[in-house]
Amino acid sequence: MAVQLKTPCLENGFQTAHSDLLLSSFAKVTGRRLLEGGGGEALYQAPFPVLSHNTDADPILTYGNLAAQKLWEMGWDQLTSMPSRLTAEPAHRGQRDAMFAEMRAKGFISNYAGVRISASGRRFEIRNAVIWPLLGPEGEKLGEAATFQDYVFL
């Protein structure tokens, strides 16, 4: 089944502000840029997945660029209404939880590897993922994000 991918309106306040938050938080905590040049549209069109979730007790995905949508085989609306824990199979959620605990203790991590699953059940391992907190202007935590360029289907 083909997944209907669509571009959310980057002109709305959330997408513009959230893209800026993803980019600025990455630079703040890692000391490097997520993208060379460009803003929200460039991030959305980037050739590598970028995802984020909110701070709810069971965090919901708040962002998934086109590369993430394609990899997880979900459109924007489905992806951004899903609890982020569902990106991994139940057997791999403990490892995922441990990764987030490590990231919270260290500030960010840049060497995470773990197995994930798409909407159709296709399994893949992400490698060398960078996981970082989304930080507001006063340093308040607004969510968490991840990106990676290296993955292999299992």
Q: Which residues contact 124 (CB under 8 A, 6 or more apart)?
A: 71, 115, 116, 117, 118, 151, 152, 153, 154
DSSP state of 12: S
Choice between 100 and 119, residue whose per-residue pLDDT is larger: 119
| Helix, strand, coil abundance in the chain, percent, nearest 5 | 35, 30, 35
Q: Mean pLDDT over residues 89-108, rounded?
A: 88
- pLDDT tens digits for range 125-136: 999 999 999 999
Total-model pTM = 0.89
- DSSP, collapsed to helix, strand or coil, labels residue 65 as coil
Domains with residue ranges and CATH for the chain: 13-153 (3.30.450.20)
- The C-alpha torsion from 108 through 114 and 119 to 123, rounded to 10°, is 160
When mean pLDDT is compared over 58-62, 101-105, 136-140, the highest value belongs to 58-62
Instruction: Lowest mean pLDDT of 20-24, 88-92, 105-109, name the range.
Output: 88-92
Mean model confidence pLDDT for the chain: 89
